[in-house]
């Protein structure tokens, strides 16, 4: 009888710790990798460019110019300026993906 109580107790404790561990793991923000375009955009770019890439995104520039700006940055007339992301580990292909992602965001109402 006592043994059964201990077994049930151990099982319940393990279950509680499991639930807590899952809760902590899912609430801690993950470090965003530039390869995860949408998540990285949300965590690093959205504060300046907006959810729909509606801010500071001049689509009359060519794709090459846009990619270049993502990689090297751009001085705006007044701060905040566009940071260069090449030095943060963003590759040319990833920069292309950001530009495509931003165009898509801007195009979807
Ligand atoms: C601190 C604010 C800030 C952050 C963060 C930021 N940008 Fe910018 N971005 C700017 C500014 C300012 C410009 C230049 C706008 C201008 O010419 O006045 C710009 C320009 C651009 C352009 C060229 C379009 C244009 O109109 O010049 C692209 C593309 C771009 N950003 C993509 C990104 C991406 C992708 C990220 C995230 C990886 C990002 N930006 C993060 C502020 C920011």
Q: pLDDT (tens digit, 9 = 90+) per residue, 10-22?
A: 666 666 566 656 5
| Contact between residue 37 and residue 95 where contact means Cβ atoms under 8 Å apart | no
Task: Name which residue sits closest to atom 18 of ligand 1, judged by CA.
Answer: 76
Residue 29 alpha carbon to ligand 1 centre in Å:
23
Judge if the beta carbon of residue 81 lies within 6 A of ligand 1.
Answer: yes
Residues of the chain with pLDDT under 70: 1-30
Position 21 scores a pLDDT of 64
Q: What's residue 109's pLDDT?
A: 86
């Amino acid at each position: 009888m006592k043994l059964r109580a201990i077994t049930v107790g151990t099982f319940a404790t393990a279950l509680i710790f499991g639930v807590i561990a899952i809760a902590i793991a899912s609430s801690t923000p993950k470090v965003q990798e530039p390869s995860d375009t949408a998540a990285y955009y949300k965590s690093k770019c959205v504060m300046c460019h907006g959810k729909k890439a509606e801010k500071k995104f001049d689509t009359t520039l060519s794709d090459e110019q846009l990619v270049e700006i993502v990689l090297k940055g751009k001085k705006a007339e007044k701060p905040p300026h566009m940071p260069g992301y090449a030095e943060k580990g963003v590759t040319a292909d990833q920069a292309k993906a950001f530009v495509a992602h931003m165009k898509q965001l801007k195009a979807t109402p």
